[in-house]
Chain A
Amino acid sequence: MARIAVTVDGTAREADVEPRTLLVHWLRDDLGLVGTPVGCDTSNCGSCTVMIDGRSAKSCSLLAVQADGTQITTIQGAANGEWHPVQVAFKDCHALQCGYCTPGMVVAAIDLLSENPDPSEAEIREGLRGNLCRCTGYHNIVKAVQQASELMKEAAK
Chain B
Amino acid sequence: MIPATFDYVRPDSLADAVSALSGGGEDAKVLAGGQSLMPMLRIRLASPTLLVDCSRLAELRGISDDGDAIVIGASTPHHDVMHDPLVMAHAPLIARTTAMVADPAIRHRGTFGGSLAHADPAGDLPTVSLVLGAQMVLAGPNGRRTVAASDFFVDYFTTALEPDEILVSVRIPKLGAGWGYDYQKFHRTAQAWAIVGVAAAVRRENGTIAEARVGLTNMAASPGRAATTESALAGAAANVDAIAAAAAHAADGTNPTSDLHAKADFRQHLARVLTGRAVRVAAGV
Q: Which residues of A come within 8 Å of B, CB atoms?
A: 2, 18-20, 22, 25, 41-44, 46, 49, 52, 55-58, 60-63, 65-66, 68, 108, 111-112, 126-127, 129-131
Contact = CB atoms under 8 A, between A and B. Distances in A.
Contact of B108 (A46, A56, A63): A56
Nearest to B107: A130
19 contacts: A19-B5, A20-B5, A20-B6, A41-B1, A42-B39, A49-B105, A52-B108, A55-B108, A56-B105, A62-B34, A62-B38, A63-B34, A63-B38, A65-B8, A108-B105, A112-B104, A129-B104, A130-B103, A131-B103
B260 to A, nearest CB: 15
Nearest to A17: B8
Given A46-B105, A61-B109, A130-B191, A20 B38 contact: no
Nearest to A50: B105
A65 to B, nearest CB: 5
Nearest to A45: B191
A108 B104 contact: yes
Contacts of B106: 43, 58, 61, 130
B244 interface: no
B53 interface: yes
B191 A57 contact: no
Interface string B247-265: 0000000000000000000
A62 B109 contact: yes
Interface string B1-45: 111111110100000000000000000000100110011011000
B213 interface: no
A48 to B, nearest CB: 10
Interface in B93-148: 102-106, 108-109
Contacts of B41: 20
Contacts of A61: 34-35, 38-39, 106, 109
Contacts of B6: 19-20
A131 B53 CA distance: 27
A36 to B, nearest CB: 13
A129 B103 contact: yes
B105 A58 contact: yes
Contact of B35 (A43, A126, A129): A43
A145 B19 CA distance: 48
Contacts of B38: 22, 43, 60-63
A133 to B, nearest CB: 13
A60 B79 CA distance: 19
Contacts of A2: 8
Contacts of A22: 2-3, 38, 42
- Ranked nearest first, the 6 interchain pairs of A and B with the lowest CB-CB distance are A130-B103, A19-B8, A129-B190, A56-B105, A55-B108, A20-B3
Contact of A57 (B3, B42, B53, B109): B109
B51 interface: yes
A18 B131 CA distance: 42
Contacts of A111: 104-105
Contact of B105 (A18, A25, A66, A130): A130
Contacts of A60: 38, 42
B218 interface: no
Interface in B164-201: 190-191
A130 B35 contact: no
Contacts of A18: 5
A41 B42 contact: yes
B8 A46 contact: no
A63 B39 CA distance: 11
Which of A56, A68, A131 is packed against the most chain B CB atoms within 10 Å?
Answer: A56
A37 B276 CA distance: 43
Nearest to B106: A130
Given A42-B39, A56-B108, A66 B103 contact: no
